Chain A
Amino acid sequence: MTDPSTEQLRPVAIGSDLERRDGFPKVTGTARYAYESEAASPAYCRLVQSTVARGRVDSVDTAAAEALDGVLLVRTAFDAESLETDDGELAVLQSREVAFRGQVVGMVVADTAEAALRGADLVEVAYSPAPHDVVLRTGRGDLYAPEKVNPSFETDTSDGDIDEAVATATAVLDRTYTTAMYHNNPLEPHATTAYWDGEALTVWDSTQGVHPTRAVLADLFGLDRERVRVVCPYVGGGFGSKGEPHVHVVLAAMAARAVPGRHVRLAFTRQQMFALAGYRTPTIQRMRLAADQSGRLAGIAIDVVEQTAKVKEFAEQTGVPTRMMYAAPHRSTTHRLAALDVPAPSWMRAPGECPGMFGPEVAMDELAEELGIDPVELRVRNEPEVDPESGLPWSSRNLVACLREGADRFGWADRDPRPGLREEDGWLVGTGVASSVYPVNRMADSTATIRREQGRYVVEIGAADLGTGTWTTLAQIAADALEVDVAEVTMRIGDTAYPIASVAGGSSGMTTWGSAVVNAARAFREKFGPEPPEDAEAQGSTEDNPATERFAMYAFGAQFAQARVNRDTGEVRVPRLLGVFAAGRIINPRTARSQLIGGMTMGLSMALHEQSVLDPRFGHVVNHDLAEYHIATCADVAEIEARWLEEHDPHVNPMGSKGIGEIGIVGTAAAVANAVHHATGVRVRNLPITLDKLLPALAG
Chain B
Amino acid sequence: MRPFTLATATDAREAVRLVAGDPDAAFLAGGTNLVDHLKLGVATPGALVDVTRATSAEITDLEGGGLRVGAAVRNSDLAADRRVRERHPMLVRSLLGGASGQLRNMATVGGNPLQRTRCVYFQDVTTPCNKREPRSGCGARGGYTRYHAVLGASEHCLATHPSDLAVALAALDATVHVLGADGERSLPFTELHRLPGDEPERDTTLAHGELVTAIDLPALPPATRSTYRKVRDRASYAFALVSVAAAVELEDGEGWVREARIALGGVAHVPWRAHRAEAVLRGAEPTEETFLAAAEAELVDARPLDGLDGGNAFKVPLVTRTLVATLRELTQERES
Contact = CB atoms under 8 A, between A and B. Distances in A.
A150 interface: no
Interface string A571-606: 101000000000000000000000000000000000
Interface string B134-152: 0000010011100000000
A613 B1 contact: no
B126 interface: yes
B41 A690 contact: no
A691 B318 contact: yes
Contacts of B318: 569-570, 691-692, 695
A622 B231 contact: no
B317 interface: yes
A636 interface: yes
A615 B238 CA distance: 21
A49 to B, nearest CB: 8
A623 B120 contact: yes
Contact of A114 (B1, B123, B241): B1
A690 B142 CA distance: 20
Contact of A691 (B3, B144, B231): B231
A121 interface: yes
A617 B325 CA distance: 38
B26 to A, nearest CB: 18
Given A622-B127, A630-B238, A633-B235, A695 B142 contact: no
Given A121-B1, A568-B324, A623-B144, A695 B233 contact: no
Contacts of A162: none
Contacts of B241: 691
Interface string B298-331: 0000000000111000100110011011000000
A624 B2 CA distance: 22
B144 A622 contact: yes
A635 interface: yes
Interface string B275-315: 00000000000000000000000000000000011100010
Nearest to B317: A695
Given A118-B2, A615-B143, A692-B314, A609 B325 contact: no
Contact of A609 (B143, B231, B234, B322): B234
Contact of A613 (B308, B314, B317, B322): B308
A561 B160 CA distance: 35
A636 B234 contact: yes
Contact of B120 (A568, A628, A691, A698): A628
Contacts of A622: 120-121, 124, 127, 143-144
A121 B234 contact: no
B10 interface: no
Interface residues of A, number: 39
Nearest to A634: B236
B118 A627 contact: yes
A51 interface: yes
Interface string A541-578: 00000000000000000000000000011110100000
Contacts of B310: 692
Contacts of B120: 613, 622-624, 628
A635 B239 CA distance: 15
A121 B127 contact: no
Nearest to A698: B321
Name the prevailing secondary structure of the A interface residues.
loop
B325 A628 contact: no
Interface string A612-628: 01011110001111011
Contacts of B309: 613
A690 B233 contact: yes
A121 B233 CA distance: 34
A93 interface: no
A617 B121 CA distance: 12
Contact of B234 (A117, A617, A633): A633
Interface in A674-695: 690-692, 695
A114 B126 CA distance: 20
A422 B330 CA distance: 24
Nearest to A632: B234
B293 to A, nearest CB: 14
B121 to A, nearest CB: 7
A114 B3 contact: yes
A49 B142 CA distance: 24
A568 B238 contact: no
Contact of B1 (A118, A609, A618, A636): A118
Contacts of A45: none
Contacts of A434: none
Interface in B116-132: 118, 120-121, 123-124, 126-127
A482 interface: no
Given A569-B325, A623-B120, A636-B234, A691 B2 contact: no
Contacts of A630: 233-234, 238
Interface string B224-265: 000000011111111101000000000000000000000000
Contact of A636 (B41, B123, B236, B317): B236
A337 B1 CA distance: 39
Contacts of B235: 573, 633, 635-636
Nearest to B324: A568
A618 B233 contact: no
B321 A568 contact: yes
Contacts of A51: 126
A698 B231 CA distance: 16
Given A51-B126, A636-B235, A695-B317, A568 B142 contact: no
* Residue in B3, B120, B235, B324 whose Cβ sees the most chain A Cβ within 10 Å: B235
A362 interface: no
A569 B322 contact: yes
Contacts of A49: 126
Nearest to B142: A617
A633 B3 contact: no
B219 to A, nearest CB: 31
B16 to A, nearest CB: 29
A608 interface: yes
A343 to B, nearest CB: 15
A691 B314 CA distance: 9
Contact of B143 (A117, A617, A628, A695): A617
A426 B123 CA distance: 37
Contacts of B121: 622
A529 to B, nearest CB: 57
A568 B325 CA distance: 7
Given A613-B144, A617-B143, A633 B124 contact: no
A352 B300 CA distance: 48
B233 A635 contact: no
Nearest to A608: B234
Interface in B1-33: 1-3
Contacts of A692: 310, 314, 318
Contact of B233 (A118, A426, A609, A624): A609
B144 to A, nearest CB: 5
Given A568-B321, A615-B308, A628 B118 contact: yes
A99 B302 CA distance: 41
A549 B84 CA distance: 71
Contacts of A690: 233
Interface string A227-257: 0000000000000000000000000000000
Given A622-B144, A630-B234, A636-B234, A121 B41 contact: yes
Contacts of A636: 234-236
Given A630-B238, A691-B314, A569 B118 contact: no
A508 to B, nearest CB: 33
A117 B127 contact: no
Given A118-B1, A633-B237, 19 more contacts: A114-B1, A121-B41, A569-B231, A571-B232, A573-B235, A613-B144, A615-B143, A618-B126, A618-B139, A618-B143, A622-B121, A622-B143, A623-B144, A630-B238, A635-B237, A636-B236, A692-B310, A695-B317, A698-B321
In order of increasing CB-CB distance, the 4 nearest A-B pairs are A692-B314, A635-B236, A635-B235, A568-B325
5 contacts: A114-B1, A569-B322, A622-B124, A690-B233, A691-B241
